[in-house]
Chain A
Amino acid sequence: MKVIDPHIHMISRTTDDYLKMTISGIHTITEPAFWGGYDRCSADSFHDYFNQLTVTEPARAARFGIKHYCWIGLNSKEAENRKLAEDVLSIIPQYLDRPTVLGLGEIGLNKNSRNEILVLEKQLSLAAERNDLIMIHTPHLEDKLKGTRIIMDMILSEKRIKPCRVMIDHAEEHTIGEIKDKGFWFGLTLYPHSKGSPERAVDTVEIFGADNLCINSSADWSVSDPLSTLKSANEMRRRGHAEALIQRIFYENPKAFLSQCPKFKES
């Protein structure tokens, strides 16, 4: 089985994970820029991080036969530091033309604050200017519904951005309907404690259909699983779903969304 994981944070994972992924059929991955588990103190840290995403990690992945792409952006958790945010926003454009960068991501909201909105607005404007793909991070837990709505309103008011070029990630049962109705792609994240499980992901396929849907592991430095996409595929088999549908969700759908960026070539 061939799988594309469109959202995984490999800088936080080991070479053992790369090996497990490649022998299991995950040969193409995309890694959005994110919050590292701590607040960084200057834009220099982001220079290092963006170089790691665009140079070091693709080379590390290639040793295991995995194609590694990334997304560049400033996450919402570090948006409250206005000076840092402005400095990082100023260096982002120089990384966007690198050969494995697919667009702006993961950008979005965390606690739905005014500073987070300001930083998101600037990054949406940059993406619109460049006609880049966008990967959106929606807030966690109690903040998700409100944040998802604010984010979608912001994107829809930026007329240069087509919803079909935006992935709204970390969608859950109470946000999927509104996301789909507005024409966005949506991502389901398989993250054991705070997001979804393979069982709930397959329920979503059954309730909402496979259109515009991608499933990802979002595996990172916390409790997470880089093989969770495959476990969801297996869950679909346990319920008797056809292989063609499984292949569509875990390979054809992410390929269709990501191929809107001409730099993307699946493995």
Chain B
Amino acid sequence: MLDLYFIENRARLLDIASFLDRIDRYHESEEARNDFRYRSLQKALNVLLEPDQKRTQAIQRIFSDPTTEPIENAVGLKAYGAWDGGEK
């Protein structure tokens, strides 16, 4: 498995690192770091280092809306990729 997938995942990791560096260089980086998507991403990155074989499921859950109640109206709403805590 390592032979098969190491190089491409090394590249993916560098993509993530450069994405975070890019945010830090950007003039609105403080705002970005306070965004719910950025905070979810940080939580997810911590999961990567945990010695558990269910990292993928754990990360999926970090990004998911855990509530059960339907929303009143979906007009104009879109998916962001991370749950905003019900703020939007």
Hey, which chain B residues are within 8 Å of A231, CB to CB?
A: none
Interface stretch (choices B19-27, B41-49, B58-66): B58-66
How many A residues have CB within 8 A of the partner chain? 29
- Please determine whether B72 and A113 come into contact, CB atoms closer than 8 angstroms: yes
Please measure, in the bound complex, the distance between the C-alpha atom of A115 and the C-alpha atom of B70, giving whole angstroms: 9
Asked whether any CB of chain B lies closer than 8 Å to the CB of A9, the reply is: no
- Chain A-chain B contacts (Cβ-Cβ < 8 Å), number: 74
Given A172-B60, A173-B56, does the pair A142, B74 have CB atoms closer than 8 Å?
A: no
Hey, which chain B residues are within 8 Å of A239, CB to CB?
A: 1, 4
Asked whether any CB of chain A lies closer than 8 Å to the CB of B17, the reply is: no
- Please determine whether A139 and B56 come into contact, CB atoms closer than 8 angstroms: no
Q: Would you list which residues of chain B between 35 and 88 have a CB under 8 Å from chain A?
A: 56-57, 60-61, 63-68, 70-75, 77, 79-83
A125-146 vs B, CB cutoff 8 Å, 1 = contact: the mask equals 0000000000000011111111
Q: Which A residues lie at the B interface, using CB under 8 A?
A: 79-80, 110-117, 139-146, 149-150, 172-174, 194, 199-200, 203, 238-239
Quick one: closest A residue to B67, CB to CB? A146
Please measure, in the bound complex, the distance between the C-alpha atom of A111 and the C-alpha atom of B5, giving whole angstroms: 35
Shortest beta-carbon distance from B9 to chain A in Å: 10
Please measure, in the bound complex, the distance between the C-alpha atom of A150 and the C-alpha atom of B83, giving whole angstroms: 17
- Please determine whether B79 and A141 come into contact, CB atoms closer than 8 angstroms: yes
Given A80-B75, A115-B73, A116-B74, does the pair A142, B63 have CB atoms closer than 8 Å?
A: yes
- Please determine whether A142 and B5 come into contact, CB atoms closer than 8 angstroms: no
Contact of A142 among B1, B65, B73 (CB under 8 A): B65
Hey, which chain A residues are within 8 Å of B67, CB to CB?
A: 146
Hey, which chain A residues are within 8 Å of B80, CB to CB?
A: 141-142
Please measure, in the bound complex, the distance between the C-alpha atom of A139 and the C-alpha atom of B61, giving whole angstroms: 14
